[in-house]
Structures are given as structure tokens and as C-alpha cells.
Chains A and B, each alone.
Chain A
């Protein structure tokens, strides 16, 4: 029945001109036939036609009723309504601008966040059949990867990758690039093909295989001028020559890693490739069609067990955890994004409440016009539809303006994005985003347009009219819907404010964590010695010593170096044994961070030395080996002992009797992040380095000289010693500290700005309500003043309602906050989600805003001149 109706209406619309003609013909036939009848009865033709017309009634009215009966008029009246709405909106630009702006803020903020959610959480991974892709939570060695792959059945393929810096030379300044040292199975696992040439084949991906390289698209474009004949060209990477065999497609990216060039691990780092204990590859796995994660996980657990038994010294603590790739990539950001999305939804609700109140105020202002239209015969449903058309039109305009806000918002988001979203370099506005905007605009227009229209039919407007006519007793008129909206707005704003307050408090706590060093005025830069020219430790030590001497010769500069900088994300972990303590089982010796330093590292970083002494010039190769440890090391591994003089060694060291003596204890440093626990760490002098692969170092330079000039001077010194060593990761320690809390700052900034927006909107809402009522009650207030009311009496009269509603909203909001802030516990650092101080502070803040929002219109009430008010009667 409904379908028939719809088709009929549709046909009526499609065949509109034809249907009009048919109607014309049908009615003309009737009139002529009736006239014929009268002519036959003896009437003159003219008289017959006149009589037929008279009996028929108004022709145009009949036509109209027929059209309405056929349903054509729905579309026609919609067009009419739209035309009418557009005209009236143009006539009241202030109202239109307010409404559109309010919605644009709400919808725009939502759209911006939705675009991010869409891009990060909803879009499928850019690989074929992404649901088959898994990632392992733990890093893996190449040997283990191969063994697990051969001992399991669920996987179609697997691949691994380690990102390491390589020096690209022969193209102007030496450059550090990100090299992906891969297992050849990686690309098949991801299901991608090179754009030019080919990928590393299985028979090349072996010990002694050829030195081949596949380039990323940006590398090929930026450094090889997008040379179409690049295949077969030779490039220099870390002092070796590689032959280009392929170029990846433009849109290709590894799941989580940035890579400029791809080389086989056997070609890039042949020393590490066969080492089972070097767990440094991210591994990706593709399930066979039909295989399940649970099946794969149980197979891999068995393989782990076998490996642990076969190689206990390195593989004892295996426990590979597989997870869907998508989950692995976005699992960390999902909670924050969803909370932000929820928060921004609350902002939209507040904006919608203001929108509804604007519509209500307008409906009252236009009551006379509506009454006239009603008395002219417009049906109630038609009037409601007219108002819905108007509110929907406004909402759609708000949506369009919101798109502009969203565009600006996403640009801002990209500028602020935290490390977890670093692969996100564009936030596209795709069809889904447009659909989202359209849907929420339409919903807003209909729902929040209907609310005031419905309330009007329930008498709110009638009441307002009576108020207008000043026939009601003093102050009894209340609009329940308006009060409800104001209360709800304040409650929602309080929830947002509480969330933001908690995040800010957590963030301040985080920022006030002592990192263990003084980051001010410290510049850092990374460099790595090429293994081809500095294969032996003494050569490396000489380079380091000479470089530090040259930099320290600059006036006003103190320089030192460390293998892995705090907060930079890396450290080398080693197992060790303590002299005099029972030797633990193989593979379960304590694991500590091992950091090598040279120069006055603790002085430059201003890390306090708690006991013993610093390294000296005498602690060099050939002298007894020494080490410094942090306080956490002493607490965990030497409790109750005097650490100074205690001796330690690597677990399963080549020479078990070559002990390192602990000569000093340093304060703890937050190496892995301000919100991470401190691990036990030992520092050894670079000059007693026993690992030739430790060729990398980060310079730390405390300086009062402007950094830019200094960086150039340091580069000159490095290149005068070796022209092919790139300097990279040049950043101040302050910046590094800031980057380490970027995710938290991102959350704080976003939720904070949503809260500000929410409070502003709620303030405008409560202001609007009080201002409206002052306007409505000018006369009454005038009388009140004429009767001798004092300022405070008038203020109390005007502000009473607003302040009361504000309090109710805040109390409700507190209850809501208590219920909802639990959801954000994972985002909070050392703050309980129910932190009373924060909740009280935000409640007071919001109440202050509410009082202010009431006070501004109340002051206007004070200026009412009783005589003018009365004369306006």
C-alpha cells in the first residue's frame, strides 16, 4: 500500500506536465458534457456552459484539491516551503548567521574528528585481503621467523623488517636514510608488487646474495629525479654499492615503519642475519584463506615451545602473540580517538540545544505571521512542515559551513598529530565523511526543528504570547522546554569540562615528572660510523675522542656523547651476572639497559652522581673495566650492598673473569618516557667498548651559543674528519621532551578545546534565555523599579532562574561526569577519574560562567527606565 502510494506520487511528479494536461482534459470533458445536457433540454449554449460552470464550483480550487489528492502537491509545496524559507532567512541575517555559526562549530568539530576516525579506524588497510594479515607483538630474529614459518601450517606467508639508518652518499651532502632490512617474504605477505622492476627474489635473499636495493617512490622521485631508466643503476649506501632492481608504487607504505630503501637483511646486515638471538625484526603474517587466528596462535605456541627447548640461552622466554594487523596498528590510539569522538558528540548536542532555542525564540517573534497564515487556512501540519523545512535548510547550511570548519580542523590536527599517527599524512574527506555531515545535518535539522515545533503545539508559544500581551501574573511563565535545554547544556558542558580538567591535571603531573636530567640548552645530534671504514673499535674510539675534543674547543660549549639518548626510543638490553650472587638459569639472568658514554656526559646532562666517582680519562682500553649504574639498578640487583666496588659481567661473557667494577651510582633517568617506569641501567665508557657494532652515537651539547650556528660548525668538524658521515635527528632536548608527551598533549588540546567550545556554547545558551526573558518582561521590571526595587532586587529577579537552572545542570553534570570519566582512565596519568579537586574546580568554573552569562542581560534590566517601559504599553 505504502509502495503503491509512493510510486503513484513519484509518477505524478515525473509526469507532471502530462498529468496537468490530463486533469485539464478530464475536467473540461465534464463541463462540456454537462453543458450538452442543458443544451438538449433547450438552453442556449452560452447559458448552458454558464450553468455547468456554476454547478461545478471553483475550477482552480478543484484542480488544487485534485493535485493534493494525487500527492503532487507534496513536492510542489516542498519547493514552495524552500523558497519561502530561503526568503525569510535572508530577511533575518542575524538569526541565520547565529544559527548557521552555532551548527557549523558543532558539526565542523564532529566532522574533523570523524575524518580522523574514518581514516584511522574505519578505512581498511591498503593491502589486499587485509583481514588475513597478522602482526606479532614481539620482535623476532630472521632464523626464528624462518623456523616458525616452516613448522606451522596456517600461514600463507610471512615476512620481517628492521628499520635502520643507512648513509646515502654520492649525492651532495651525505644523508641518513631509513633502510628497511627485510626478509624477502615481506612483500608477498603484504600482497604488493613494485611499480618498476621487481622485488628481492627468494634465491637472492640468502647468505652471500647480491647487493640489490628496491627504492621507495619518494626516494626515487627526490634523489634520483624519478629516472625511468633507474633499474640497474648503482647507488652508495653506508659505503657499499647496491644495484637498483625495483621501485615501489607511490602509495605504498609499510604497516608501521617509514622506509626509503629496501634491502635484504643478508645484504644490509649480514653479521646479524644468522644470529638467532638478535630479535629485531617486526614480523607480519598472512593467514591461508580459511585459517583462523586461534589456530595460528596455537601452532605458533607449539613452535615457540620447540625453539625454547632447542635454544634455551636465547629463546627461553618465547611467547609470541599474534594479533590482527589493524588491531596492532590502531589499538593504542583507538581509546583516545573514541573518547574524543564521544566528547565532540556532546559538543554537537550543546550546539543543537542552542539551535533549538534560537528556533523557539524566532517562532515566538513570528507568531503573528503564523497566526495570520493559520487563519488564512494553512493547516497545522503544513505550518509545522514549513518550520521543519526552515530548520533543515539551516542545518544543511550549517553542515556546509561545518565542512569548512572541519577542513581547517583536520589541518590543525595533522600539525598536532602524535607519534602513533605519524603515518597519517593526509586526512581525506571521502564519501563517507560527506555522508556523515549530510546525515548529522539532516538529523539535527529535523530533530531539533521538531522539538520547538512540537513544544509550540503544546502551548509553550501560546504562553509566550500571553507573556507578550503582558496579561499573566508576574513571573509565572516558564518554558519547560527552554529550561530543559539550558539544564542539559550545562550538564553536558560540565561532563566535558570534567574530562578536560582531569586530562590537564594528568598532563601537568606528567610534565612535572623529573626526567632525571636538565633539558634546557642542550642540543643533540645522531651520527653513525660506517662499518667499512671503521671496522675496529680503536678506530671508532679515536674518531669519537677527536670529534669531542674539537667540539669542546668551541667557546661556551660543553659536549659529550651517549649511545642511546633518553626519550629517543632506543636502548640496548643485555643480561648480566653479579659477582657473588648465585648464577641464574641460562636465559633468565637480569636484563638491564646498557648505555655507553664518552666525555662529561653527566655534567652536560646535569644528571646527579649519587655515590662514587665519574669516569675519568684513565678508564680506557687496556685498563680494568669499569661501569656506573643507576639507583634502580642498586635497588633491584644490589639491595643492601655497597654498590661501589661490586663487580658485574655480561651473562655468558667470552671471558667470565674479566669483571667490570662499579665505580659510581647516578640518579635515575626516565629513559623510556616520563610515564614509564625506570629500568635498571648501566653506563660503560665508549673507550672500553667491546662491541664493534656499537658504531652509533648521539652528541649532547650544552651551549649558550645560538643552536643554528653551532649545528653548522659541528657539521663542518665532522665532515672535515670524514666527508661521508651524515648528521641527523638534530633536535634540542626540550623538543625531545615535548615530543615524548605529544600524544598526551594532543588529547589535552583536543578535549580542552572541545570543553572551551562547550562552555562557550552553554554560556551563550543561558545568556540567550535570560536576555530573552528580560526582553519579554521589560514592562514588569519597569513596574518593579517604579515601585522602588533596588538594583539587587532586580538582579535577583532576573538572575534567579538562570542561576538555579545552572546549579541543577551542574549537579546533573557531576553525576554524568562520575559515570563517564571512568572511560578515560587509560588516558590519565596519576589522576583518578573521580578526582574530587578537579570536579569541584570545574563545577565552580562552570557556575561562574553561568552567573556571568546571567549577569550580562541582568545589567541591561537595571538600565530599564520605568517611564519608557510603561509608556511602551
Chain B
């Protein structure tokens, strides 16, 4: 099967980050790796665009950052979900599912 990765639709990066961080605190690199792994390399996250998104989410109070030690024993910045972030994730997840369900229904029937 020819592997062709696709760019993320606008605005979904935040959702993916929140979802990824809902399992455990991660640093930026790990977030990008995780997204790529889980999506079986279908989704391609421009690595540079990840960080502005993380900082924006931090400013909105949806995630918080602290410095810790990485798996290879280096100083790294870890992000974790805040309560507000968890609520936001639920809302966004719900909205996304409704959206995709509606879109696929149209695609299948129309």
C-alpha cells in the first residue's frame, strides 16, 4: 500500500494534543511521535507548528508545563492536562465525533 500522509485539517491539532496528553504528561517531541505512531504515520504534524500550539494551549490554561527528566535522562519540558483542559477535550471530542459522523453520512448517502 503506498503510504501517503495527509496534512491536518485546521484546528484539529489542538484536539490531538489534548487527547495525547490525556493519557500521561509528555514533552513536545513525545507528543509529535505519539501522534504519528498512533495514526500509523498517516497524519503528518509539521513539527515546528506543534510548539506554538502547545504554548497557546498553555496560555489558555488548558495544559500546564513543568520541567522534568526525560527517558534519556535529559532536562525536558513536560505538559499535562489541567481540569479545564479535560473539560475542553470532552467538549471538542464530542463535537468532532458529531461532525465526522455527519460528514461521513453525507458522503455515504448523497
In the complex, chain B residues whose CB is within 8 Å of the CB of A30:
27-29, 32, 47, 51
In the complex, chain A residues whose CB is within 8 Å of the CB of B74:
29, 32-33
CA of A492 to CA of B50, assembled, Å:
57
User: Looking across the interface, which residue of chain B has its beta carbon closest to that of A55?
Assistant: B47
Contact A65 B52, beta carbon cutoff 8 Å: yes
Q: Using a CB-CB cutoff of 8 Å, which residues 78-104 of chain B contact chain A?
A: none
Question: Residue-by-residue, is A58-70 near B (CB-CB < 8 Å gives 1, otherwise 0)?
Answer: 1101100110111
Contact B77 A1, beta carbon cutoff 8 Å: no
Question: Residue-by-residue, is A1-31 near B (CB-CB < 8 Å gives 1, otherwise 0)?
Answer: 1001100110000000000001001110110
Contact B59 A62, beta carbon cutoff 8 Å: no
Instruction: Return A690 CB to nearest CB of chain B, in Å.
Output: 93
Q: Using a CB-CB cutoff of 8 Å, which residues 16-57 of chain B contact chain A?
A: 27-29, 32, 46-49, 51-53, 55-56
CA of A5 to CA of B57, assembled, Å:
11
Does B75 count as interface, using CB distance less than 8 angstroms? yes
Contact A66 B47, beta carbon cutoff 8 Å: no
Contact B70 A5, beta carbon cutoff 8 Å: no
- Range class of the A interface residue count: 20 to 34
Does A589 count as interface, using CB distance less than 8 angstroms? no
User: Looking across the interface, which residue of chain B has its beta carbon closest to that of A59?
Assistant: B48
- Range class of the B interface residue count: 20 to 34
CA of A30 to CA of B47, assembled, Å:
9
Q: Among B51, B61, B72, B77, which residue has the most Cβ atoms of chain A within 10 A?
A: B51
A4-B61, A69-B56, A70-B55 known; A33-B49 Cβ under 8 A? no
In the complex, chain A residues whose CB is within 8 Å of the CB of B56:
69
A5-B60, A33-B29, A36-B72 known; A26-B47 Cβ under 8 A? no
Does A772 count as interface, using CB distance less than 8 angstroms? no
State which of A29, A34, A66 has its C-beta within 8 Å of the C-beta of B70.
Answer: A29
Does A71 count as interface, using CB distance less than 8 angstroms? yes
Instruction: State the majority secondary structure of interface residues on A.
Output: helix
In the complex, chain A residues whose CB is within 8 Å of the CB of B32:
30
In the complex, chain B residues whose CB is within 8 Å of the CB of A33:
29, 70, 72, 74
Does A706 count as interface, using CB distance less than 8 angstroms? no
CA of A36 to CA of B71, assembled, Å:
12
Instruction: Return B66 CB to nearest CB of chain A, in Å.
Output: 11
Contact B47 A57, beta carbon cutoff 8 Å: yes
User: Looking across the interface, which residue of chain B has its beta carbon closest to that of A65?
Assistant: B52
Does B76 count as interface, using CB distance less than 8 angstroms? yes
Contact A29 B47, beta carbon cutoff 8 Å: no
CA of A4 to CA of B84, assembled, Å:
12
CA of A29 to CA of B47, assembled, Å:
13
User: Looking across the interface, which residue of chain B has its beta carbon closest to that of A67?
Assistant: B55
Contact B76 A29, beta carbon cutoff 8 Å: yes
Contact A29 B55, beta carbon cutoff 8 Å: no
Contact A29 B27, beta carbon cutoff 8 Å: yes
Instruction: Return A19 CB to nearest CB of chain B, in Å.
Output: 10
Where the two chains meet, the residues of B that have a C-beta atom closer than 8 Å to any C-beta of A are 27-29, 32, 46-49, 51-53, 55-56, 58-61, 67, 70, 72, 74-77
Q: List 9 A-B contacts (CB under 8 A).
A: A25-B75, A29-B28, A29-B77, A30-B32, A32-B74, A58-B48, A62-B51, A69-B52, A69-B59
